[in-house]
Amino acid sequence: MSAHPALSAKRPILLIEDEPSVIAFLHAALERRGYAVVDAASGEEGLKRLSKGRYAGVISDIRMPGSVNGAEVHDWVQKNRPELKSRIILISGDTANSETQTFLAQSGTPCIEKPFRVQQLIATVEKTFGKP
């Protein structure tokens, strides 16, 4: 079932984040700019949604409680959703962490550091996913 190219612009962004306050902030900021957003409160939920749906891109926190973190979401996308390979943005509250730094350096994936401003987020989203 292939979507019509014009319709694919309406695909939502999948937001994978465990902090309700951050979800609310990101959701509001993105929707104000005209993006559709689907939330997932954990890496596991994010992978479930990714395996069932089609998305314009993925924004995922790197560090999340549970068995699936942002790096694993990223790896899953590389293997299973090649069309989203260059459409991932990671959010990190601990880029000083050497594991996180190594992962980001190897993946080349854009990362937004917490705390961030809406403008910074939107600029990265538009550059990575395109304008809505």
Within-domain flag for 41:
yes
**Which H or E run contains 88?**
strand 88-92
Within-domain flag for 2:
no
Within-domain flag for 1:
no
Over range 84-100, report the average pLDDT.
Answer: 88
Within-domain flag for 85:
yes
Is the pLDDT at 124 greater than 90, yes or no?
Answer: yes
Within-domain flag for 69:
yes
pLDDT at 47: 98
* Nearest Cα to Cα of residue 124 among 112, 113, 115: 112
Is the pLDDT at 1 greater than 60, yes or no?
Answer: no
Q: Is the pTM of this model over 0.85?
A: yes
Higher pLDDT, 38 or 105: 38
* Nearest Cα to Cα of residue 85 among 130, 128, 125: 128
Over range 64-81, report the average pLDDT.
Answer: 94
Over range 107-120, report the average pLDDT.
Answer: 90
Within-domain flag for 19:
yes
Poorest-confidence range of 19-33, 58-72, 86-100? 86-100
Within-domain flag for 4:
no
Over range 52-74, report the average pLDDT.
Answer: 94
Q: What domain range is 97 assigned to? A: 9-129
Query: Based on the structure, what is the number of domains in the chain?
Result: 1
- Give the domain CATH number at 60: 3.40.50.2300
Sheet holding 111-113: strands in order across?
37-40, 13-16, 57-61, 88-92, 111-113
* Nearest Cα to Cα of residue 128 among 57, 78, 77: 57
Over range 8-28, report the average pLDDT.
Answer: 89
Under DSSP, the state recorded for 103 is: H
